Amino acid sequence: MKKQPGQRLRVAIVIDDFYPASGGIARSVQTQINELVRLGHDVTLIAPKHSLQAPENCATIVVPSLYIPGTPAYMCILQYSRRIAVRISTQAQFDVVHSQTERGALILAARLAKLQHIPHLHTFHANLAGTHETNPFASFWGSMAYLLLINPSIAAVSKKRFSDDVIIPKASSDATSFFARFDWHSLATIASRVDAYTTPALFMKRRIDECSQGFGAHGHIVPTGVNPLFSSAVLAAKRSRTDRTVRFLCVSRLSKEKRVDAALRAFVTADIPNSQLDIVGSGDQLGTLSKLAGTRDNIFFHDHMSNMDELAKLYVNADAFIMPSYRFDTQAITLSEAAVAGLPIVYCDDRLDVGVNSDNSLLATDPGPEALATCLTALNSPEVRKEKASASMRIAKQLQPDFTVERYLELYRQLIGSKH
């Protein structure tokens, strides 16, 4: 029986990443949970125990995971045996299961879908194919994980297949190496084994459809809205500065694929008088970045901030935002946060289109530090910053989470209806 609009749904959300401290994926999941609960739905978060801050507004099921302490959060893999799926199914019954990462969470969600005869929706948040140049070692092993673990496991668990002809695409500007091209093949393979998939980015859907020989109706573009708690915190935060220092802000996980070193090098290259760079985040690149900063007294490092009020204060007291990631993100939630905070934005990935446009942002001509530095120099002008900031405020109205969750609910109901 098809679930009608307004009828309460039981939604399982499954994630490998640390919740909510690991970055943009976990923060987008946090927003999704809050909005679903606000609309009266029953949500269960299925997550690893590492750094877990269980949400107070929904149920949480902790699952054992494989993780080496000290390694990045994206190395955490939920255990996904049938025994674990059976245990979860004795604790709770769901109408739909929604996986958010392509590791153990994907396979565990597929097992739950099979055991409970419910649909499985998957969201592609990140683009592994875009990391082979910036982080070749980790990317190689990520590709091997797809080949040796993820692809065979999802094929064994999920018997559904929407396309028999998943291909490896031809070389292109965003997939020059064989392994990058193979990663697109893997993403399309995953997409063919779930009932439907979503991604925030048009380029992701186009690439997956190309590799899968076109099951386009099976994929959907659903941008991630900004957490209302962050929006409220921005409105409540007061700009406490009276100095004329030009403050640049970069909020990111400190890992190679995020290229925070490019933002730091750009700031040093621009050498703008009376300027400051604040870098917010944690990760294995902190030591490298600290060495790059050296003894400069205008570069400041802040640990990862899960407190929305404290994070909002940094945004509100900044003058511009730097986003150095290139060919990795599908939708950088920090770009949307910067727009909500009314900041001008500098970025270098021309495929990103949520939270940025030519009115509120400067797109670097290439991803190198010199091109980013040119944009930073342009934002030294108060007039340019004011114009771009006003445009960000206009964009902010389009970044509320209502659309995201309503679109997910629409997909949930369609998928549930197709199962009956």
Q: What are the pLDDT digits (tens) for 29-72?
A: 999 999 999 999 999 999 999 888 899 999 999 999 999 888 87
Say what the pLDDT of residue 136 is.
Answer: 80
pLDDT of residue 216 exceeding 60: no
Q: What are the pLDDT digits (tens) for 386-407?
A: 999 999 999 987 888 888 899 9
Of 158 and 369, more confident: 369
Distance from C-alpha of 343 to C-alpha of 156, rounded to nearest angstrom: 47
pLDDT of residue 4 exceeding 70: no
Tokens of 374: 């040119």
**The pairing of beta strand 77-78 with beta strand 65-66:** antiparallel
Closest CA to 377 of 243, 261, 245, 273: 273
- In what helix (H) or strand (E) does residue 286 lie, and over which residues does it extend? helix 286-293
Say what the pLDDT of residue 212 is.
Answer: 78
pTM to 2 decimal places: 0.83
One-letter identity of residue 76: C
Distance from C-alpha of 354 to C-alpha of 336, rounded to nearest angstrom: 7
Q: Which domains does the chain have, with CATH numbers?
A: 10-225+401-418 (3.40.50.2000), 228-396 (3.40.50.2000)
Backbone angles phi, psi at 13, to 5 degrees: -115, 125
Tokens of 229: 């708690």
Distance from C-alpha of 78 to C-alpha of 86, rounded to nearest angstrom: 15
